[in-house]
């Protein structure tokens, strides 16, 4: 069989523990036999990050800026225990945080759906993607515990030293106080990333906030989204036949539950934190969740939403075969390959990505699945496979599909 050619390389970011093992298996069994894989390889495994003083992570992020598409394996975010376990020089920061800061991106999380697990919400037929604005608001707020009577004020001092004051509250007894902020440029980046991703996936975009109550703060979010939509995206949305609409967060929640799914829901930081856990739980499994970081100027980084599956890794290291689910890792690769194909104008690559996704889902729907899915399955489980056997079963279906 002739292998599919690639024009431009992908940025490939290797990672840690069990997902590093899956990464190899997926490449060897499902990618390199079929695609002349071109990648720029960055090893973001913790030992290499430590060796390079984390420069490797910065280099990888800059490579994504240059090549526009990356695929990343799950990586350890070190804590005190990891510093000891790996003998680290420092408690390096989260690679995802570093990459996100360099690309100025927004993370979109989407469940991978199969007939094997039915969403808790009966009307949901298609995935719901949540985009969370991961900057500011309550996560960067300054808080104050008020111990007794007194006046709370907001004071803003401009560059010339002029003060503007607003009374927040006149306390007659103890209470609490909080100051939050956000920045127009961060909100604008968020809006552009969300609109780009809606265009890229051909799905409607919803944005929700509470501007009836928070006229300045949430009102600013709403206005920035509307302005960017009108000036930069409306024509492209209309051409693609998709819509952007704003609604109040409480109305959005009601609509989401009654919907069929198949749209992107952009949320403010706190709403996104809460709603993404609700939506992902209602869809079934963390092992079936993909994630893509999209920058406002159109760079894409794909990965699985789960971590390095440490508990399985410790067993694998002892020589045990584990039944770790590789589907989200496979979908990170297919997402990146499809995007590469779109940007390079190489439809064979997009077609390959479609076929590999279908082969993965078909395997599960034929009753062959990893342990995590077997425990949730609403269809008959014919075989609980270890990772290797499961990947081989996908390969058999992929070969059939390609022949
Ligand atoms: P995790 O790796 O997502 O795993 C938590 C548990 O979820 C696992 O023990 C396993 O449950 C189940 N699970 C997750 N993915 C699975 C899969 N593909 N197949 C089967 N089961 C799966 O989260 P964690 O244990 O909290 O974190 C481990 C490491 O990952 C940490 O060092 C953390 O820093 C890192 N992390 C990285 C990222 C990232 O790179 N994006 C994200 C999150 C966490 P059972 O053990 O019950 O089978
Ligand atoms: Mg959370």
**What is the reported pLDDT for 105?**
83
pLDDT, tens digit (0-9, with 9 covering 90-100), for 303-352: 999 999 999 999 999 999 999 999 999 999 999 999 999 999 999 999 99
Residue 202 and residue 263 in contact, taking contact as beta carbons nearer than 8 Å: no
**pLDDT exceeds cutoff 80 at 1:** no
Residue 382 CB burial class (10 angstroms; 0-12, 13-18, ≥19)? exposed
End of a domain among 131, 164, 179?
179
Beta bridge partners of 217: none
Nearest to 97 by CA among 32, 165, 44, 51: 44
CA nearest ligand 1 atom 15, residue: 287
Please identify, by atom number, the ligand 1 atom nearest to the C-alpha of residue 73. 40
Q: Ligand 1 pocket test: pick from 109, 308, 323, 388 the residue with the most ligand atoms within 8 Å of its Cβ.
A: 308
pLDDT tier, 4 (very low <50, low <70, confident <90, very high otherwise):
very high
52 and 201 share one domain: no
The SS3 of residue 372 is helix
**pLDDT exceeds cutoff 80 at 17:** yes
Residue 200 CB burial class (10 angstroms; 0-12, 13-18, ≥19)? middle
Spatial CB neighbours of 353, under 8 Å, sequence gap ≥ 6: 333, 334, 335, 337, 338, 341
135 and 147 share one domain: no
CA nearest ligand 1 atom 45, residue: 311
pLDDT, tens digit (0-9, with 9 covering 90-100), for 188-203: 999 999 999 999 999 9
Which helix (H) or strand (E) covers residue 141, if one does? none
Nearest to 205 by CA among 179, 183, 234, 182: 234
Please identify, by atom number, the ligand 1 atom nearest to the C-alpha of residue 94. 34
Instruction: Look at the chain and report how many structural domains it folds into.
Output: 3
> What predicted TM-score, i.e. pTM, was given to this entire model?
0.90
pLDDT, tens digit (0-9, with 9 covering 90-100), for 38-65: 999 999 999 999 999 999 999 999 999 9
306 and 337 share one domain: yes
Would residue 294 count as lying in a domain?
A: no
Ligand 2 centre distance from Cα of residue 144 (Å)? 24
**Enclosing domain of residue 80:** 1-105+301-403
How far, in Å, are 13, 63, 128, 288, 373 from residue 122 at the CA level? 37, 42, 13, 18, 19
Ligand 1 centre distance from Cα of residue 93 (Å)? 18
**What is the reported pLDDT for 91?**
95
pLDDT tier, 366 (very low <50, low <70, confident <90, very high otherwise):
very high
268 and 122 share one domain: yes
The span from the CA of 147 to the CA of 166, in Å, is 21
Would residue 257 count as lying in a domain?
A: yes
Would residue 401 count as lying in a domain?
A: yes
End of a domain among 253, 283, 313?
283
With pLDDT > 90 as the criterion, what percentage of the chain qualifies? 89
Q: Which ligand is nearest to the CA of 277?
A: 2
173 and 192 share one domain: no
Would residue 110 count as lying in a domain?
A: no
Q: Output the domain CATH number for residue 229.
A: 3.40.718.10
Q: What is the mean pLDDT of residues 80-91?
A: 96
The span from the CA of 46 to the CA of 36, in Å, is 28
Would residue 36 count as lying in a domain?
A: yes
132 and 79 share one domain: no
327 and 382 share one domain: yes
18 and 151 share one domain: no
Would residue 112 count as lying in a domain?
A: no
**What is the reported pLDDT for 144?**
95
The SS3 of residue 134 is coil
State the average pLDDT for the chain.
95
171 and 193 share one domain: no
Would residue 360 count as lying in a domain?
A: yes
The span from the CA of 121 to the CA of 130, in Å, is 16
CA nearest ligand 1 atom 8, residue: 309
**What is the reported pLDDT for 191?**
97
> Ligand 1: which residues within 6 Å by Cβ?
74-77, 96, 286-287, 303, 306-311, 324-325, 372
309 and 271 share one domain: no
30 and 99 share one domain: yes
26 and 101 share one domain: yes
Which single residue is written with the structure tokens 């969403």? 119
**pLDDT exceeds cutoff 80 at 241:** yes
Would residue 113 count as lying in a domain?
A: no
**What is the reported pLDDT for 134?**
82
Q: Which ligand is nearest to the CA of 109?
A: 1
End of a domain among 283, 311, 330?
283
Ligand 2 centre distance from Cα of residue 12 (Å)? 27
């Amino acid at each position: 069989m002739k292998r599919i050619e690639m024009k431009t390389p992908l940025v490939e970011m290797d990672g840690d523990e069990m997902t590093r093992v899956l990464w190899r298996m997926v490449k060897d069994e499902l990618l390199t036999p079929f695609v002349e894989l071109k990648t720029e390889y960055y090893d973001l495994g913790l030992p290499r990050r430590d060796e390079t003083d984390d420069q490797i992570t910065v280099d990888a992020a800059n490579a994504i800026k240059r090549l526009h598409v990356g695929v990343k394996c799950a990586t350890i975010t070190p804590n005190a225990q990891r510093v000891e376990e790996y003998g680290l020089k420092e408690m390096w920061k989260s690679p995802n945080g570093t990459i996100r800061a360099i690309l100025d991106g927004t993370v979109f999380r989407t469940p991978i759906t199969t007939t094997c697990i039915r969403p808790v919400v009966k009307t949901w037929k298609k995935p719901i993607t949540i985009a969370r604005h991961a900057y500011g608001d309550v996560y960067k707020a300054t808080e104050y515990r008020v111990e007794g009577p007194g006046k709370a004020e907001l004071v803003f001092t401009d560059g010339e030293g002029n003060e503007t004051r607003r009374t927040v509250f006149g306390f007659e007894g103890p209470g609490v106080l909080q100051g939050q902020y956000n920045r127009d440029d961060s909100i604008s980046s968020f809006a552009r990333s969300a609109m780009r991703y809606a265009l890229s996936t051909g799905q409607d975009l919803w944005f929700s906030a509470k501007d009836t109550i928070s006229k300045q703060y949430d009102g600013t979010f709403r206005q920035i989204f509307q302005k960017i939509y009108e000036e930069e995206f409306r024509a492209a949305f209309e051409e693609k036949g998709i819509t952007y609409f704003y609604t109040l967060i409480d109305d959005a929640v009601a609509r989401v539950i009654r919907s069929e799914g198949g749209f992107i829901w952009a949320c403010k930081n706190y709403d996104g934190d809460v709603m993404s856990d609700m939506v992902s739980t209602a869809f079934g499994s963390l092992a079936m969740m993909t994630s893509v970081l999209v920058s406002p100027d159109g760079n894409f980084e794909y990965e699985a939403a789960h971590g390095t599956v440490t508990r399985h890794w410790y067993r694998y290291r002892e020589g045990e075969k584990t039944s770790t689910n590789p589907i989200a890792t496979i979908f990170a690769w297919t997402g990146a390959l499809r995007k590469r194909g779109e940007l390079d104008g190489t439809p064979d690559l997009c077609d390959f990505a479609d076929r590999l996704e279908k082969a993965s889902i078909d395997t599960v729907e034929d009753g062959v699945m990893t342990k995590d899915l077997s425990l949730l399955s609403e269809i008959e489980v014919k075989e609980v496979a270890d990772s290797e056997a499961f990947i081989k079963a996908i390969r058999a279906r992929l070969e059939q599909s390609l022949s």
